[in-house]
């Protein structure tokens, strides 16, 4: 589980202790969801009662309440029904693993093969609306890459619009022990990015993580600015950015999915990070994200501390929602 160790496709062995720590983080972050809607779903499939139309209706209602979204809900219900009919399953408890398998499949359909040899510096452009947790996530990524995998990391404070955004990223960079390139609030974001790339090349950094302003879909000029940044990155480093990471706040529910769709075209999103999983009882938002925007979820934000970040693993996530012992 959690085979990819950090965001640019590297596979490496982890100790059993490290794996257990991350799995426990995911389990703890999903406690509200497990005690809420998904606890209800577990109860629906915990009996040896015969499978009825009412069971499917109850499942559909619960999934929608859990922020799974209508389209993904119908996908899960219909595919689980098909499995039940194909195997002649009669009892609700026997259909439980079939439902879980279809849930895992929602995520696995979006998994990409890892890059064999990531370029250096590997450029990660982080996008998302204000309040989604971009700055904190960037700090967690920097902490992870520097202290767990001994990577040289540089941050770029490209969010020059929001008050105090630059200062916040600088503070988080200090906590994580990585340098942060900035030109202050109101500066040209593209100029910050240009300077950060020069610094990354000069210092032979492994990873450059770029923050951007929180761009709402209605603000066309800000979307244009994002496209401008991507163009400058590509000119300085052909092929970059190598990863465009969209940050979605789990507590925003279906609004988060709408926000995500607004970024797909302008940002060429490659991966998703879902933050604040510990703050919602509707963990189903992860299914909606994977199915509706068709991008793999790479990270889960599991708390407020710098170490509260886990690589996403579909089986671990689904097992945690159903309160099962993780292996």
The structure tokens 């302003």 sit at 213
Is 130 annotated in some ligand binding site? yes
Question: Are 110 and 296 spatial neighbours (Cβ–Cβ below 8 Å)?
Answer: yes
Cα–Cα distance for residue pair 164/186, rounded to 1 Å: 10
**Has 186 been labeled as part of a binding site?**
no
**Can you tell me whether residue 297 is helix, strand or coil?**
strand
Q: Is 85 annotated as a binding residue?
A: no
Query: Does 9 appear as a known binding residue?
Result: no
The CA-to-CA distance between both ends of the chain, in Å, stands at: 9
Whether residue 193 is annotated as binding a ligand: the answer is: no
276 a known binding residue?
A: yes
> What is the rounded CA–CA span in Å between residue 304 and residue 297?
19
Q: Among 116, 198, 204, which residue's Cα sits nearest to residue 153?
A: 204
Residue 215 assigned ligand-binding role: yes
Contact 152, 165 (CB under 8 A): no
| Tally of CB atoms within 10 A around 220 | 11
Strand segments, DSSP code E, in 31-181 are: 122-127, 153-156, 180-181
- Is 277 part of any known ligand binding site? yes
Is 207 labeled as ligand-binding? no
42: closest CA among 279, 305, 283, 296? 283
Does 213 carry a binding-site annotation? yes
Annotated binding residue 211: yes
Is 212 annotated as ligand-binding?
Answer: yes
d(CA 236, CA 232): 6
Residue 166, annotated as binding a ligand: no
Among 314, 327, 326, 322, residue whose Cα is nearest residue 45: 322
**What DSSP character marks residue 181?**
E
Q: Please tell me whether 270 is known to bind a ligand.
A: no
Q: What tokens appear for 189 in the block?
A: 């974001």
Binding residues: 128-135, 211-215, 275-278
Binding residues for GTP: 128-135, 211-215, 275-278
């Amino acid at each position: 589980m959690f085979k990819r160790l950090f965001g640019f496709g590297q596979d490496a062995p982890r100790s059993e202790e490290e794996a257990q720590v991350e799995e426990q983080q995911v389990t703890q972050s999903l406690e509200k969801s497990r005690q809420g809607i998904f606890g209800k779903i577990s109860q629906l499939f915990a009996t040896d009662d015969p499978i009825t139309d009412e069971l499917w209706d109850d499942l559909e209602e619960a999934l929608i309440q859990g922020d799974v979204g209508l389209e993904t809900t119908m996908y899960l219900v219909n595919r689980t029904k098909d499995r039940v009919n194909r195997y002649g399953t009669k009892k609700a408890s026997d259909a439980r693993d079939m439902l879980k398998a279809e849930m895992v499949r929602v995520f696995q359909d979006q998994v990409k093969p890892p890059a064999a040899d990531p370029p250096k510096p590997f450029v990660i452009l982080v996008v998302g609306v204000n309040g989604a947790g971009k700055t904190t996530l960037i700090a967690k990524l920097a902490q992870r890459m520097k202290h767990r995998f001994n990577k040289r990391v540089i941050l770029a404070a490209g969010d020059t619009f929001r008050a105090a955004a630059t200062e916040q990223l600088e503070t988080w960079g200090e906590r994580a022990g990585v340098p942060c390139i900035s030109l202050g609030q109101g500066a040209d974001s593209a100029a910050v990015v240009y300077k950060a790339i020069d610094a990354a090349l000069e210092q032979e950094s492994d990873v450059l993580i770029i923050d951007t302003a929180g761009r709402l879909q209605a603000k066309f000029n800000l979307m244009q600015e994002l496209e401008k940044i991507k163009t400058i990155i590509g000119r300085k480093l052909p092929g970059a950015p190598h990863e465009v990471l969209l940050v979605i706040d789990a507590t925003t529910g279906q609004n988060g999915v709408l926000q995500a769709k607004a970024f797909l075209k302008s940002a060429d999103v490659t991966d998703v990070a879902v933050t604040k999983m510990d703050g919602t009882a509707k963990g189903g938002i992860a299914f909606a994200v994977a199915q509706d925007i068709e991008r793999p979820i790479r990270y889960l934000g599991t708390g407020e501390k710098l170490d509260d970040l886990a690589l996403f693993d579909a089986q671990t996530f689904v097992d945690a929602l159903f309160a099962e012992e993780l292996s």
